[in-house]
Amino acid sequence: WQFDNSSLSASWMAFYSFFGPERYEVCAGTEPLLCDVAAFENVTNLTDGSPLIRAVPHPTHLQVYNHTLLDLELLHGRTYYITVTLVDTIGRRTNLSSNGVRVDATPPLPGAVYDGRLRDFADTDFTWSSKVFSWWDLFSDPESGIKRFQVACTTDPDGRTVDVWTDVQPGTVVSVSTHIVPDGTVLYHHVKAWSVAGLFCIVTS
């Protein structure tokens, strides 16, 4: 999954050719080995000594290549495949396609956040304790699904101003120790839900 609808990236280990590699070409399509989204780009030239594009080391000592196709127009909900082709020194071509990546360009659907303990099944308006609780439900993402939640507790009702978030397990009740705060202080719980694709929504109690 990815949320970016304008680029596709791929990594691959060096292909083998008895006659020696000359270059790699990369394209993208809506099916394996199809180039209907982005035509082949010559991303390396291995015979003239030019540097390898975006090369990174690999523990097995095999060469690994990375390349990103830019300025694409990808559709939400569609699956796209990158095809890498090795062209050897006598012109033979060897193709290999990825297993596909699906675009989820929309954030999760917001749920509800409640102050208090889950066992009370009610939203708490007042508390005497320096430890406050919150719980939430109904968050969802119909495409890639919910990957994780983060929480924060502040005196600001705007969750977009939160700088520090804490990772929590889905479905848990969160307790926050607020130490000592003046009487009448209003505390807000913020929940950030992340999709598998990497987008998020924020809901405040």
- H or E element that contains 45: strand 38-45
Q: In the 8-state DSSP scheme, what is residue 103?
A: B
pLDDT reported for residue 138 = 85
pLDDT reported for residue 166 = 87
SS3 content of the chain, % helix, strand, coil (to 5): 5, 45, 55
DSSP strand pairing (174-177 vs 131-137): antiparallel
pLDDT reported for residue 176 = 60
User: Looking at the chain, how many residues does it have?
Assistant: 205
pLDDT reported for residue 169 = 74
Instruction: Quote the CA–CA distance of 171 and 116 in Å, as a whole number.
Output: 14
Low-confidence ranges of the chain (pLDDT < 70): 45-62, 118-130, 170-181
At residue 194, the 3 state secondary structure works out as strand
Task: Provide the whole-model pTM.
Answer: 0.77
The structure tokens 């308006």 sit at: 125
Largest CA distance in the chain: 81
The candidate with the shortest Cα–Cα distance to 203, out of 76, 107, 104, is 107
b/e per residue 7-32 (b: at least 16 CB within 10 A): ebbbebebbebeeebbbbbbbbbeee
